Amino acid sequence: MILIIGGAYQGKLDYAKENYPCKTIHQCDPENPEIDTTAEIINSLHLAVLAQTKAKTDTLAYFQKKLPELKEKVLICDDISCGIVPIEHETRIWRENTGRVMALLSKNADEVIRVFCGIGSKIK
């Protein structure tokens, strides 16, 4: 598993396409809590976590169950952990859930790459 993280609009998907050529990309949807594990790249993972948070799904349990299916995938997630803590309760829970999921995935990933301004830095 390759986990690519970074801020919004930093070129994470372009970086993934350049460095890990894949044919299929699943774009996560903030209204759909499921991810398509048949795709080689799963983009915007934070949006799937948002949908799961809205649906009151146990996101950590969901991703622990999906780990075997994610072993050969490239996962891309926005880093939403920085900045002002949101006022809205659901948004705070989403941010916490995303952090916990990223910790789980990074622990199980073969590589973790942070992309900033289109430049990838390997952190694991």
Per-domain boundaries in the chain? 2-122
Greater model confidence, 83 or 27:
27
Predicted local confidence at residue 23, as pLDDT? 87
Superfamily of domain 2-122: P-loop containing nucleotide triphosphate hydrolases (3.40.50.300)
d(CA 15, CA 55): 31
Neighbours of 1 (CB within 10 A): 16
CA distance 73 to 67: 10
Write out the two tokens for 73: 């995938």
Where does the pLDDT of residue 112 fall: very low under 50, low under 70, confident under 90, or very high at 90 and above?
very high
Least confident of 6-20, 76-90, 107-121: 76-90
Mind listing the pLDDT tens digit for each residue in 16-75? Answer: 999 998 889 999 999 999 999 999 999 999 999 999 999 999 999 999 999 999 999 999
How large a percentage of the chain has pLDDT more than 70? Answer: 100
Q: How far apart are CA 73 and CA 81, in angstroms?
A: 23
More confident residue, 22 or 97: 97
Tokens representing 117 are 């301004």
Q: What is the pTM of this model?
A: 0.93
The answer on pLDDT for 92 being more than 90 is yes
